[in-house]
């Protein structure tokens, strides 16, 4: 739990930094690729290339391709259509995906999660009810794919470590995580990257270095380590702790203009969606344990 709390504080600044200094200024694929490379510089020298179980290597690569590669590929693109506060609010669906994936791995199903998803869409509509455009919808859907990938990576890593315990400390094989991310991001940049939108200022490079070494290398390692030490319910709840922290940073430091009433109303609907998912899932698990 302390790891998850620490990383929540660490990540609270990331959304606003991306929105203020990178979105629309630096190619999104290059930004994510640079994060992979910088984080890899930390872990690749520590990685053991022999003596690690093949299942553990393959699983960590897959988790990295999802939780970092696909997640950030979609996340950065969503900033082209959404503001930082909207991105933060719409990540509230991540715990629902955590719940769904955890239920699937444990052969459970909660219809309440589907109701929660519908309510979340309604809450998103309230926040931008007078500006719902095709581009906005695209941004929202990209972010949900990002949320699903991030959730799948967390649940996948948690179950991977539980299924294949190893005497090798995670820091010695977490480099495979960033290798998986590289498998996704390098082709994405080569195919879709805009080579005219490269970092040009010290602010650009400073933010990229922070996101690579701090938010990615330290943040993702500690977050996944924390995920293996808590139950799925706690993990799901902690995914939402980033929202108030990130919004506080965005509104106080950058004084972002926002319709606070609509943000609050839409956020309440999204919170109700999460409450429904958690409440009915708990009741289902409790009845199943009787």
Query: What pLDDT, in 10s, does the model give residues 6-47?
Result: 888 888 878 778 877 887 888 989 999 999 999 999 998 899
* Whole-number average pLDDT of the chain: 81
pLDDT of the residue at 221: 93
Mean pLDDT (whole number) for 111-126: 67
| Closest to 27 in 3D by CA, of 76, 86, 83, 87 | 76
pLDDT tens string 48-58: 988 888 999 99
pLDDT at residue 2 above 90?
no
pLDDT tens string 209-242: 999 999 999 999 999 999 888 777 677 777 766 6
Binned at pLDDT 50, 70 and 90, residue 187 comes out as: very high
Binned at pLDDT 50, 70 and 90, residue 153 comes out as: very high
Higher pLDDT residue, 49 or 178?
Answer: 178
Residue 199 DSSP class: -
Q: How far is the C-alpha of 185 from the C-alpha of 181, rounded, in Å? A: 6
Q: Which two tokens stand for residue 80?
A: 């082209």
Q: How far is the C-alpha of 10 from the C-alpha of 19, rounded, in Å? A: 16
Burial 60-82 (b: 16+ CB within 10 A, else e): bbbbbbbbbbbbbbbbbbbbebb
Name the pTM for this structure: 0.79
Find where tokens 């219809």 sit: 111
Mean pLDDT (whole number) for 73-97: 80
pLDDT tens string 247-265: 667 677 766 665 677 767 8
Binned at pLDDT 50, 70 and 90, residue 145 comes out as: very high
pLDDT of the residue at 64: 94
pLDDT at residue 281 above 60?
no
pLDDT of the residue at 289: 42
pLDDT of the residue at 212: 92
The proportion of the chain whose per-residue pLDDT surpasses 90, expressed as a percent, equals 31
CA atoms in the 13 A half-sphere facing the CB of 29: 15
Q: How far is the C-alpha of 266 from the C-alpha of 90, rounded, in Å? A: 10
pLDDT at residue 290 above 70?
no
Residue 50 DSSP class: S
pLDDT of the residue at 95: 78
């Amino acid at each position: 739990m302390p790891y998850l709390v620490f990383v929540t504080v660490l990540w609270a600044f990331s959304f606003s930094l991306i929105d203020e200094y990178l979105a629309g200024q630096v190619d999104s694929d290059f930004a994510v690729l640079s994060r992979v490379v910088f984080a890899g510089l930390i872990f690749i020298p520590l990685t053991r290339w022999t003596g690690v179980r093949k299942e553990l290597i393959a699983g960590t690569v897959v988790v990295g391709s999802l939780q970092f590669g696909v997640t950030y590929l979609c996340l950065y693109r969503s900033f082209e259509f959404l503001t930082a506060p909207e991105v933060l609010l719409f990540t509230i669906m991540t715990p629902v995906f955590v719940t769904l994936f955890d239920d699937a791995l444990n052969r459970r199903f909660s219809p309440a999660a589907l109701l929660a998803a519908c309510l979340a869409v309604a809450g998103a509509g309230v926040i931008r009810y007078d500006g719902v455009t095709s581009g906005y919808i695209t941004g929202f859907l990209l972010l949900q794919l990002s949320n699903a990938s991030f959730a799948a990576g967390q649940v996948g890593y948690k179950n991977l470590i539980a299924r294949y315990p190893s005497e090798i400390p995670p820091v010695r094989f977490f480099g495979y995580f960033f290798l998986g991310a590289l498998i996704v991001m390098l082709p994405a940049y080569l195919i879709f990257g805009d080579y005219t939108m490269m970092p040009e200022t010290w602010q650009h490079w400073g933010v990229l270095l922070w996101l690579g070494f701090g938010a990615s290398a330290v943040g993702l390692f500690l977050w996944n380590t924390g995920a293996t030490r808590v139950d799925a319910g706690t993990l799901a709840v902690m995914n939402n702790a980033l929202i108030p922290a990130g919004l506080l940073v965005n509104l106080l430091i950058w004084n972002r203009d926002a319709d606070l009433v609509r943000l609050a109303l839409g956020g309440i609907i999204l919170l109700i969606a999460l409450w429904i998912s958690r409440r009915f899932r708990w009741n289902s698990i409790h009845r199943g344990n009787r």
